[in-house]
A and B are shown apart, each in its own frame.
Chain A
Amino acid sequence: MKKLLILGAGTAGTMMLNKLSSVLDKNEWQITIVDQHETHYYQPGFLFIPFGIYKRKDVIKPKRDFFPSEANVIVSEIEKIEPKENRVILKDSKVLSYDILIIATGAQIKPEETEGLKGELWHKNVFDFYTIEGACALSNFFKHWEGGKLVLNITEMPIKCPVAPLEFVFLADSYFTERGIRDKVEIHFVTPLPGAFTKPRASAILGDFLDKKNIKLTTDFSIARVDNEQKKIISWDEREVDFDVLVSIPTNMGDELIARSGMGDELNFVPTDKQTLRSSEYENIFVIGDATNLPSSKAGSVAHFQADILFENILSVIEGSEPHAKFDGHANCFIESGFGKGILIDFNYDTEPLPGKFPLPGVGPFSLLEETKMNHYGKVMFRWMYWNFLLKGTELPIESQMSMAGKRM
């Protein structure tokens, strides 16, 4: 009996488990998945919690609801991977050997990486919304807030869902307008990037949206520390921004397990072939989702497109051939822009987000790089698709490779 082991039962790991379980011969392959947590979080939903649009119950479900009934599931922390021995050591010293390993251990926020960020104001006037705790604490804070300086700060790239910080300020504009106190709230977007987003054309268009919504933009700001007493953030080159409430996107890092196993880069991301998703160092190890060091977005849609590619490549390797399917860096993101509208972007490693219609050329129903109500419905519908199809590994009507059809150069 051969063994395929999946570490991490988040979006990527769960998709791979479902896809592989339905095709691998049960007499030949035993598939095991390991995760320390029993709850699955719909992370894209965290964004909506501070504004009271979603509650905690809207973004959580038991992980077991998404596992195939015959799946071999181990709930445990993982001590380390020993890639040269083809084995994984669990917290209780139990040893799991494998023929093929899939690493899907994701990324987490590390506020400890920035001086003063996790200081006395943490979850009082300084919040994150990348954890359920942070998002809920911020929701409680906003309910009673009368206005002042709201600063959103990205500490450093890469981060999960690079559009989420923009969505946050767009939604804040909408939320405080509806509460009738927008004139008392100064919204300030402070980023280490040279513009509103990573890609030039989208950055220009999204920058215009910030302007239109009266959101102040400060670029090239690399945060050095948070001054909890004076309530300000200070950059390495000694520029200062005052805040009454700071919403931070802390440093994102891969799991500590990767560092303990000596398999990561300086951010604990695993060096991975950007096309085949095979580990750069070990032939029988594959990496998917946020755990990789790929220059693609860390997002569920990306993990989904990667899963199609990795599924093919694992089957190739099992049949004794080389992995031939190639991931193109495809990402597809609905950007909530407030007031019931949204913007859609679709891009890959080589093609930056372009305007046009999606997925049907000339028809849509979604519009690329434009603000429409239909794009917002797409985002709302996505949660339902996520729970009901995506995690279960069902095909979605979007190709894993990006298409130029419908895009305007």
Chain B
Amino acid sequence: MAVKEYAGKMVELDADGNLAKQTDWNEDVAKALAVEEGIPELNDRRWLVINYMRKEFEAKGDAPSIRKLTKESGVDTKELYTLFPGGPAKKAARIAGLPKPKGCI
């Protein structure tokens, strides 16, 4: 299992490069993960999405899909792609310290 330093903290990563242990997550680690994803700054809208994802994960045990994000987080799909270019559900989950959302088959 890979170990990498984020915000001065050594954390374990899973096979997808996401945090292996959610207890390693804090806001500074999130900021460092975001930089790695090409997002230099976590503004309020981004935090809204990240916090929603963490809450959902705690309740359901799985990171929400984009469709669910759009429906329930108060951020529409267009904006999600602007906030997290490339893959909102995947990127936001990683920054939120969650495993990669279960891909549908």
Contact = CB atoms under 8 A, between A and B. Distances in A.
Given A220-B86, A220-B87, A236-B81, A198 B103 contact: yes
Contacts of A193: 103
Interface string A372-389: 000000000000000000
B105 A266 contact: no
A296 B103 CA distance: 10
A198 B104 CA distance: 8
Contacts of B22: none
A199 interface: yes
Contacts of B80: 236
Nearest to A162: B105
A90 interface: no
A332 to B, nearest CB: 13
A199 B80 CA distance: 26
B81 A157 contact: no
Nearest to B72: A266
Contact of A266 (B65, B85, B104): B65
Contacts of B71: 266
A158 interface: yes
Given A220-B87, A266-B65, A295 B78 contact: no
Contacts of A198: 103-105
A312 interface: no
A237 B104 contact: no
Contacts of A266: 65, 67-68, 71
Interface in B50-97: 65-68, 71, 77-78, 80-81, 85-87
Given A222-B66, A237-B81, A266-B68, A158 B105 contact: yes
A156 interface: yes
A266 B71 CA distance: 8
Interface string A282-297: 0000000000000111
B77 A236 contact: yes
Contacts of A217: none
Contacts of A236: 77-78, 80-81
A224 interface: yes
Interface in B13-47: none
A297 B105 contact: yes
B67 A296 contact: no
A331 B86 CA distance: 30
A105 B77 CA distance: 29
Interface string A258-302: 000000011100000000000000000000000000011100000
A199 B66 CA distance: 20
Contacts of A222: 66, 81
Nearest to A347: B105
A156 B81 contact: no
A236 B66 CA distance: 12
Contacts of A296: 105
A162 B103 CA distance: 12
A293 to B, nearest CB: 10
Given A236-B81, A266-B67, A267-B67, A295 B86 contact: no
8 A-B pairs with least C-beta separation = A158-B104, A236-B81, A157-B104, A266-B68, A198-B105, A237-B81, A266-B67, A297-B105
Given A156-B66, A267-B67, 16 more contacts: A156-B67, A157-B104, A162-B105, A198-B103, A220-B86, A236-B77, A236-B78, A236-B80, A237-B81, A237-B85, A237-B86, A265-B68, A266-B67, A266-B71, A295-B104, A296-B105
20 contacts: A156-B66, A157-B105, A158-B105, A162-B105, A193-B103, A199-B105, A220-B86, A220-B87, A222-B66, A224-B78, A237-B86, A265-B68, A266-B65, A266-B67, A266-B71, A295-B102, A295-B104, A295-B105, A296-B105, A297-B105
